[in-house]
Structure formats: structure tokens, C-alpha cells
Amino acid sequence: MPNDLDAMNELHWLIDMVQTIEVGLVVLDRNFNIQLWNGFMENHSGVSPNDIKGDNLFQRFPALPEQWLKQKMESVFLLKNQAFISWEQRPYVFKFKNYRPITGRAEFMYQNITLLPLASLTGQISHISMIVYDVTDMAINKMQLEAVGDKLQQHNQTDALTLLLNRRHWLQQVQLHYEQFARYHEPVSMMMINLDHLKQLNESKGHVAGDRAIQHVAHILKKHLRDTDIGGRFGGETLGIMLSQTDNTAAFTQAEQIRRDIEQAEFSYNNQTVKVTVSIGIYQLDDELNSPDKWLDKVDEALALAKVSGRNCVKTLPALS
């Protein structure tokens, strides 16, 4: 009988391992009644195998996503194939507390789950097993990495002085709006805002005062941006806004409000009060323009017109009557 003894020993070891392994193991019958509940499941749920054996999984854990999980399990029974539930799809199935020291900040245990069909001796799929992996460390690391990536990307797109989009990314928006106009033909306007006499301010109060003036204008500008407006720093002392769903007339009204606010505001530098004004050029995109660069040229023309018209004013091309 040594073979029987060996087999018995093997079974004993297997049961021991199933009980102590750092992975959750649950076996369910066709009606989702619990047939096996290992030590990992006991430790994290506080429910012992003796207390739960034979009970229906969904009755014992009413918070489980019953319909969704049953559908997954039914397909395992039916197709006799494994199914996988990733934490990225659903952070957890069993809401267990997270006790991990490294990722102590996670409030619950992130889980990956494998559903395995279990064949009876007759070859029928009479049971399925759920294997529950604690992937909290990996999930938190991945999310932290993604958050850093997002920050870096944002940093990469932002102009440090004004916190508006930098030139490169703002120009991408110009291109994007140009392409959208070609497809949908919805009104879209571009606005360029240029500080008046910044050279003089730089020379009289210093370059830092000039920087503060640009920041001050950007700050006021941001207050006027709607959710769909995209502001950027086009060049040194020139800021731009893409205004989707906006025609010349509406853009002019918005620009006038910006211009007036800037004219009336002031900032202090070295205990001195400084006031600045801006000139603004606007151009609503039309079919005549066959590239984004041509659109930029037209806005520049409108801005130049504002400058020669005495500055501290808004000009559109063609002029609004």
C-alpha cells in the first residue's frame, strides 16, 4: 500500500498548501455555493471555512457585483475556458482591507482574479475556482507612475511663466482647430494679445518687471477663458487664444472685455504700482485660408492694425462695421 500512502500524503500536503498559500482560493458549485474557502480568504474576510461551507456566495457577500460576476462565471461553465478579471477593469471583487506596509495608503486590496473551470471525474464542468491575487503593491506603483507621467506631460506642455500652454502645444491646437474647421465648418476664431510698450517697461523697471507684466496679463486672461477656449503663450510678450464655436463678433466682445479689464487693473512691483495695456488682433477662420500659417498671418495683420491704430484696442479683419 505504499502508493496509497504516498497519495494520501500528497493530498495532505496539497490541502496544507491550499490553506496557507498567500493567494485566495474559492471553489463554487454550479449554484455558486461555496465548497472551498482557504486560509487567505478567511484571514481577509474574517469568515472561517466551517462557517461558510455550503453557503451561497452572493447571499454571504451581498456587496459583490452579482449580475456581472455571474455572467463571467456562466461563461466559464459554458465555454470551459478560464476568465480573468484585472484590477484595472475593477479594482477589487471582494472588498478586503489593505494591510500591506509599503502601500499602506491604499484603503483596500487591489485584486486580479482568475476563474478556472474544474472538471469532475466524468469530465463535466461541475465547479469553478476563483483564484484571488493581492496586487495592491503593483497597482499602487502603476498608478503612481501614471500620475508622475501625467504631471510630466502637463509640465512639458505648460509655459512656466504664464502657466498657459507653451508655444509648441498651442500651435498644435491651432492645427487641430484648423482641421476641425475643414471638416465641420463651425465658426472658430483666433485671438492674439500683445503687451503695449513692454520694451519701455523692461528698460525703465527691469526685465523682471516685464516678466511680472506678462504674468499679470495671463492671469487676467485666464479669468476670461471659457471651458472650450485654449490659451497659450505664442511668443515672448504675445499670448494667443483659440476660440471654438465663436465668430468674429463674439470674439470681439470677449476681447474688449479682456482689454478693458487689463486697462483697469494694476500690479505692484518693488512697491510701485504698474499698469499695462494690450493690443488685440482677431481673425475668424474662413475657406480662403489654406493653411494654419495663413491664419496666423491674418491674426498678426489684425494685431498690427491694432498697434498702428494707437494700441490698447481690439481689431478684427475684416473690420467689424
Ligand X SMILES: Nc1nc2c(ncn2[C@@H]2O[C@H](COP(=O)(O)OP(=O)(O)OP(=O)(O)O)[C@@H](O)[C@H]2O)c(=O)[nH]1
The distance of closest approach from Cβ of residue 209 to ligand X in the complex, given in angstroms and rounded to an integer, is 7
275 is an interface residue for ligand X by CB under 6 A: no
302 is an interface residue for ligand X by CB under 6 A: no
Q: Give the interface segment with ligand X, choosing from 41-49, 70-78, 207-215, 267-275 (CB under 6 A).
A: 207-215
Query: How far is 98 from 107, CA to CA, in rounded Å?
Result: 6
The distance of closest approach from Cβ of residue 232 to ligand X in the complex, given in angstroms and rounded to an integer, is 14
The count of chain residues that interact with ligand X, using the rule CB under 6 A, is 16
The distance of closest approach from Cβ of residue 196 to ligand X in the complex, given in angstroms and rounded to an integer, is 4
196 is an interface residue for ligand X by CB under 6 A: yes
236 is an interface residue for ligand X by CB under 6 A: yes
Cell 523682471 found at? 208
224 is an interface residue for ligand X by CB under 6 A: no
Nearer Cβ to ligand X, position 224 or 311?
A: 311
Residue least distant from ligand X (Cβ): 236
Nearer Cβ to ligand X, position 249 or 277?
A: 277
162 is an interface residue for ligand X by CB under 6 A: no
Q: Which of 53, 97, 168, 199 contacts ligand X by CB under 6 A?
A: 199
Nearer Cβ to ligand X, position 100 or 167?
A: 167
198 is an interface residue for ligand X by CB under 6 A: yes
Q: Which of 73, 135, 177, 210 contacts ligand X by CB under 6 A?
A: 210
- What residue ranges bind ligand X (CB under 6 A)? 194-200, 202, 207, 210-211, 214, 236-237, 307, 311
